[in-house]
Amino acid sequence: MIAGGDCEMSTTSALRELRKHQVAFTEHEYRYEEHGGTRAASRQLGVDEHAVVKTIVMEDEAKKPLIVLMHGDREVSTRQLARQTGSRTIRPCDPDTAQRHTGYMVGGTSPFGTRKALEVFVERSILALPAIYLNGGRRGLLVEIAPAELTRVLRAVPVDAAVDE
């Protein structure tokens, strides 16, 4: 664990963005597992997978990209999300497209410090958690922050689109 202000070894676009907006955060490094997802991260860090938030890059029918922040133990109902965002359809981006939009590799995507400013949607119940863990801009790095920072810094729009895995 490394406190946000004392970090010399980790610098990503996400961490620079967090510091720029004076977000209090703690870094948590773990051993990245290919296809391990939030389950592997939560197990290694000893935290509830529900509080580990995944960053999913999606696009609407016009190929306009957007980010969805979802509990690690839930999936996104693209139908519910489309209805709430006023889109006809929404689908996940392929990994290359997601990387082009965000500047991050899949498995290391943060909603902070993306290459392009993307609209961000957050599952409403995430905002009620005391703390969340989300990607810090590279594989094997999560940052612990207060969920209120998602709406303050990213202007994340709350939605109700979670379904059980």
Please list the pLDDT of the chain residue by residue as tens digits (165 residues). Answer: 434 444 445 689 999 999 999 999 999 999 999 999 999 999 999 999 999 999 999 999 999 999 999 999 999 999 999 999 999 999 999 999 999 999 999 999 999 999 999 999 999 999 999 999 999 999 999 999 999 999 999 999 999 999 987
Torsion angle (degrees, nearest 10) of CA 163, 67, 55, 153: -120
N-term to C-term CA, the chain: 29
Contact 58, 78 (CB under 8 A): yes
Q: What is the pLDDT of residue 1?
A: 41
SS3 12: coil
Q: What is the CATH number of domain 2-164?
A: 3.90.960.10
Residue 48 dihedral angles phi and psi, to the nearest 5°: -65, 130
User: With b meaning 16 or more CB within 10 Å and e meaning fewer, what string describes 96-127?
Assistant: eebbebbbbebbbbbbbbbeeebebbbbeebb
Sign of CA dihedral 116, 119, 123, 125: positive
* Half-sphere exposure for 53 (CA within 13 Å, toward CB): 30
Q: What is the pLDDT of residue 48?
A: 97
Residue boundaries of the structural domains of the chain: 2-164
Amino acid at residue number 97: T
